[in-house]
Amino acid sequence: MREKRKDVSLKLQEIEGFLFDGMSLAIGGYLTANKPMALIREIIRKGIKNLTIISLPSGIDVDLLIAAGCVKKLMCPYVGMESLSPIAPFFRQKAQRGELEIREVDVALVILMLRAAALNLPYLPWKGVVGTSIPELNSDLKVIQDPFGNGELIAVPALSPDLALIHAAQSDIYGNVQHKGRSFLDGLMARASQKTLVQVEKIIPNEQIKFNFLDTTIPSALVNGIILAPLGAHPLSSQRYYDVDERHIREYVELAQKYQRGEEDGFKDYLAKYVYGPHSLEDYLEVVGTKRLLHIMKI
Amino acid sequence: MNWMDITTKELQAVFISRIIKNGWYVIAGIGAPIPRAGIMLAHLTQCPDLRIIMSDYFVEFLNEEELRDFTSYSDPGLEKNAEYTFSPELRYETARLIDLMFLGGIQIDTYGNTNLIGIGQDFRGLKLRGAGSIGAPSMASLTKRYIIFSNNHNERTFVDHCDFISTVGWHKGGNSRKQLGLPGGGPIYVISPLCIMDFTEDTKQMRLKHLMPGVKKEDVVKNTGFDLIIPGDISLIPPPSEIEIGTLRTRVDPKGLLRI
């Protein structure tokens, strides 16, 4: 009998098999764009703990995971909300209390760790942070001598995350993913990670992928699960679909700051309302409300 | 032109615009409105062939009557003027072409080493955790030159020793940066609300170059936590020309954000 090609599409609630305590997660997107927020909220709801997070510059995505007590170790070159909160509130508080194991990195080091993993190399050499405090503040790094006699280099060890979480525009049910606009480090994260889950705004027929195969940014060979998640990057932006919900970020920052001053109710309500309460994306979007959603979609 | 009418921020932008040469590759950061205004002013006045990188885009603004403000990396307006975009990986593969970038620091020392990591002696119990150094450590070690831009000038920022160093400036002075073998050219100026500073040719210590209008030498010395080199003659920044201030106010900064 003729075998059927595997459909890798999943519901948000069905990702449990990919998750375990103490795992390492690569989070795609960049700063305020294309962050897999629906997946992140699901991980918090599932109560996964002791995560190692690796990502490019981040904001509410990583701060929310920290706030919910899911993060043990962090390799992230920036955690903040730009002008709305230059340093993310829970990142700052837990870092200052020594409750996060921070491996200090910059963008280049994150790229090199993943690239080494994708290439199946033990490490890649780099000159970039020689002379800074970063090698002292990141015990994964080693200072080595250039065998060609050009002084010190940093050996950046390979890191293959257990799972990459990515947000993209569209995919077929087999996991051929297409971004609209930039794809940041998402492709490298998929190439470097053990497994990859991608949440998409839209699932499209395989014929459409084939018709525009040059637009495919991550091939099905690298993708283990596709989750239909329209508006799933909210409150952050999804390129070509919607902008950042600035009012939501501002509300988060204000409630987080109040929480840290002892007024804890507001932030607890926030978590109940937006994270723990809505068990599906539909319920979440209903809580956010049509007006906000139309506003960020510029409709 | 009334000299007194020009704000410090405008003068900083004018100073920056005069450093930039036509044909240069420059990075205009989203979170740095004054350096960005300086770059745009150079672009619109004397550098039509400037290659500007903003966010991850190569942008061109020459025919824009009025530039808008950008506050977020995800600002959809950036794509309107983009000619090319690259992935974060490719940033580092073009870094050696960059003629000028800007960076800041929550601490800056006498050799222009900067700290975006945090303040405190114990890394696991910091008094202030910084947001992180984004791309600055590696980028600034590769680019041909960079400028340190600080939004404040006091003893907490300008310190004798940074608690941590996220970007190497002139390292320990003299030729110590060269000995590290970093390919990039290092910091050329430090710009603060009080003054413009450069570095001495031999020891690479920070040196006062220009005072901002109304600022006294003593103000700078008092607010600097290390012994700043004070030369015999400190010149003023030559006042902006009509073209410079006119272009700045009507096209680069029509909303007057540099006048607040």
| 3-state DSSP helix/strand/coil % of chain A, to nearest 5 | 35, 25, 40
CA distance A253 to A74: 20
Residues in chain A: 299
Q: Name the pLDDT band for B68 (thresholds 50, 70, 90).
A: confident
**Residue A81 and residue A25 share a domain:** yes
| Segment A232-272, tens digit of pLDDT | 999 999 999 999 999 999 999 999 999 999 999 999 999 99
Burial A27-65 (b: 16+ CB within 10 A, else e): bbbbbbbbbbbbbbbbbbbeebeebbbbbbbbbbbbbbb
Whether chain A has a CB inside 8 Å of the CB on B172: the answer is: no
Would the CB atoms of A77 and B132 count as touching at under 8 Å? yes
Closest chain A residue to the Cα of B72, Cα to Cα: A82
**Residue A241 and residue A173 share a domain:** yes
Here the ipTM equals 0.94
Residue A1 located in a structural domain:
no
pLDDT at A275: 98
**Residue A181 and residue A273 share a domain:** yes
Instruction: Give the CATH number of the domain where residue B206 resides.
Output: 3.40.1080.10
Question: What are phi and psi for residue A212, nearest 5 degrees?
Answer: -125, 50
**Residue A152 and residue A38 share a domain:** no
Would the CB atoms of A185 and B88 count as touching at under 8 Å? yes
| Nearest in space to A103 (alpha carbons), one of B180, B117, B137, B116 | B117
| Segment B134-174, tens digit of pLDDT | 999 999 999 999 999 999 999 999 999 999 999 999 999 99
**Residue A233 and residue A133 share a domain:** no
Whether chain B has a CB inside 8 Å of the CB on A252: the answer is: no
CA distance A102 to A54: 11
| Domain extent for B60 | 3-259
Residue A22 located in a structural domain:
yes
pTM here is 0.96
Instruction: Give the CATH number of the domain where residue A171 resides.
Output: 3.40.1080.10
Kindly give the pairing relationship between strand B82-85 and strand B101-103.
unpaired
pLDDT at A266: 97
**Residue A224 and residue A175 share a domain:** yes
B132 contacts in chain A (CB < 8 Å)? 57, 76-80, 104, 106
Whether chain B has a CB inside 8 Å of the CB on A106: the answer is: yes
pLDDT at B2: 60
For chain B, positions 56-85, list CB contacts with chain A under 8 A. 56, 71-74, 76, 79, 85
Tens-digit pLDDT string for chain A (299 aa) = 678 999 999 999 999 999 999 999 999 999 999 999 999 999 999 999 999 999 999 999 999 999 999 999 999 999 999 989 999 999 999 999 999 999 999 999 999 999 999 999 999 999 999 999 999 999 999 999 999 998 999 999 999 999 999 999 999 999 999 999 999 999 999 999 999 999 999 999 999 999 999 999 999 999 999 999 999 999 999 999 999 999 999 999 999 999 999 999 999 999 999 999 999 999 999 999 999 999 999 98
Q: Name the pLDDT band for B181 (thresholds 50, 70, 90).
A: very high
Residue A40 located in a structural domain:
yes
**Residue A207 and residue A87 share a domain:** yes
CA distances A52 to A24, A72, B60, B120, Å, are 4, 6, 40, 25
Would the CB atoms of A106 and B137 count as touching at under 8 Å? yes
Q: Give the number of A-B residue pairs with CB atoms closer than 8 Å.
A: 149
For chain B, positions 88-107, list CB contacts with chain A under 8 A. 88-89, 91-92
Mean pLDDT of B43-58: 94
Whether chain B has a CB inside 8 Å of the CB on A286: the answer is: no
Count of domains observed in chain B: 1
Residue A116 located in a structural domain:
no
Q: Nearest-CA distance from B166 to chain A in Å?
A: 5
Is residue B1 predicted with pLDDT exceeding 60?
A: no
| Domain extent for A144 | 122-157
Would the CB atoms of B127 and A96 count as touching at under 8 Å? yes
Average pLDDT value for chain B: 94
B71 contacts in chain A (CB < 8 Å)? 82-83
Would the CB atoms of A76 and B130 count as touching at under 8 Å? no
**Residue A173 and residue A128 share a domain:** no
| 3-state DSSP helix/strand/coil % of chain B, to nearest 5 | 30, 20, 50
**Residue A148 and residue A233 share a domain:** no
DSSP state of A242: B
Residue A240 located in a structural domain:
yes
Answer for the pair A49, A21: CB distance below 8 angstroms, yes or no: yes
For chain A, positions 9-68, list CB contacts with chain B under 8 A. 30-33, 56-57
The amino acid at B125: G
**Residue A145 and residue A167 share a domain:** no
Residue A113 located in a structural domain:
no
**Residue A16 and residue A139 share a domain:** no
Whether chain B has a CB inside 8 Å of the CB on A111: the answer is: yes
Count of domains observed in chain A: 2
pLDDT at B3: 63
pLDDT at A175: 98
DSSP string, A69-135: T-EEEEE-S-BSBGGGBSS-HHHHHHHHTT-SEE----HHHHHHHHHHHHTT-SEEEE-TTTTSSHH
